[in-house]
A and B are shown apart, each in its own frame.
Chain A
Amino acid sequence: MLQSLKLLTVFIIGIVLGYFNLIPSFVNIDETSKYLLYFLVFGIGITISRSEGVLKIIKQYHLKLFLLPLLITLGSLGGAAVLGLFYQDITFQHSLGLGAGLGYYSLSSLMISQYGFKEIGAIALISNVVREISTLVLTPLIVKLFGRFAPIASAGATSMDTTLAVILKHTDKKNAVISMFNGVTLSILVPLLITMIYEF
């Protein structure tokens, strides 16, 4: 089973537990979450440090490789900001926060919740999981309509792991390097963007 679906299941179990007030009284959920998030981010940092091959890729492929993650990020932020205009209860800041997830469901939603915005955090979680799953399902169509870079764009940060196989299957092998590089860059950008949006 896809990890995102497992995590979504755990999230739903949590909702049920919370709804029926079945909360272990010995844990202070908000306080514990704060430290768990620190552990998580530390672990993600270690994992990303392994992708040092990225530096070689940049040397080989030129700086124009950065254009792809840059435009993907701007597109996500812009798309979310435009949709946010139609919601009176979602501020511009939250719209950007929802766009800044870049498909990285766990990190963006947990960081947003940590700032105290639980409802937006939940929307972010669903939004980014949907983005990953719809990329997995719709990639053939996306490639047909918008070309071989498009599934990398809709995948966002997941283009380096969960959606990589599907992207390569429906485009070409040359996309592998671009796709991995994009995923790593976006994964680093997510925590930076969320911090900028919510702290400055």
Chain B
Amino acid sequence: MIVIAIFFLGVLTGIIFKKQFKIFKYSETLTTISLYLLLLFLGISIGNNSEIVSNIGKIGIKGVLFAFASGLGSILLITPLYLIFGKGKD
């Protein structure tokens, strides 16, 4: 819940300070640095967990399978939209 609140605080900040272009540069730097550190830390805590490490192959396969299941699910559900709106000119 906190994450959602902070997310919308960010949106609000962006709207309030939209004329100050520097803020977007700062936020991009902030986002990039936190992203890299977070993934590094996620990697570290996974590598440090012997139970997860011994399953790493299975984790990879699950990742690939869930990618295709969710992607295919999305494609199948939007197919009616394509048949109704997508074929002709809009």
Bound form: Cα–Cα A85–B37 in Å: 34
Is there contact, CB below 8 Å, between B47 and A18?
yes
Instruction: Give residues 47-89 of B contacting A (CB, 8 Å).
Output: 47-49, 52-53, 55-56, 59-60, 62-79, 81-83, 85-87
User: Size band of the B side of the interface?
Assistant: 35 or more
B71 touches A76 (CB 8 A): yes
Which of A39, A45, A101, A154 is within 8 Å of B75, CB to CB?
Answer: A154
Point out the residues of chain B lying under 8 angstroms from A110, CB to CB: 38-39, 42
A14 touches B81 (CB 8 A): no
Contact of B73 among A32, A45, A76, A90 (CB under 8 A): A76
Given known A38-B3, A126-B63, A126-B64, contact A154–B42 (CB-CB < 8 A): no
CB–CB A122/B59 < 8 A: yes
Interchain CA distance A142-B68 in the complex, whole Å: 12
Q: Which residue of B lies closest to A200 (CB)?
A: B1
Q: Mark A46-63, 1 if CB is under 8 A from B, else 0.
A: 111110100000000000
Contact A36 B86 (CB under 8 A): no
Is the contact region of chain A dominated by helix, strand, or loop, or is it mixed?
helix
Given the interface contacts A71-B77, A83-B66, A110-B38, does A23 sit within 8 Å of B72 by beta carbon? Answer: no
* A20 contact set on B, CB distance < 8 A: 47
Query: CB-CB contacts of A15-48 with B at 8 A, as 1s and 0s?
Result: 1111111010000011011001111111111111
List residues of chain B with CB within 8 A of the CB of A150: 75, 78-79, 82
Contact of B43 among A11, A87, A114, A128 (CB under 8 A): A11
- Listed from nearest, the 3 A-B pairs whose CB atoms lie closest are A14-B43, A45-B10, A79-B73
Residues of A participating in the B interface, judged by any CB pair closer than 8 Å:
7, 10-21, 23, 29-30, 32-33, 36-50, 52, 64, 67-68, 71-80, 82-83, 87, 90, 98-99, 101-103, 106, 109-111, 113-114, 118-119, 121-131, 134-135, 142, 146-150, 152-154, 156, 174, 191-192, 195, 199
B binding-site residues for A, Cβ under 8 Å: 1-4, 6-15, 18, 23-24, 27-28, 30-31, 34-49, 52-53, 55-56, 59-60, 62-79, 81-83, 85-87, 90
A-B residue pairs in contact (CB < 8 Å), sample of 30:
A10-B36, A13-B43, A17-B40, A18-B43, A23-B44, A36-B41, A37-B34, A37-B38, A42-B13, A43-B31, A46-B11, A48-B11, A68-B81, A72-B74, A72-B77, A74-B73, A75-B75, A76-B71, A83-B66, A111-B3, A113-B42, A113-B45, A123-B66, A126-B62, A131-B70, A149-B78, A153-B75, A153-B77, A154-B74, A195-B4
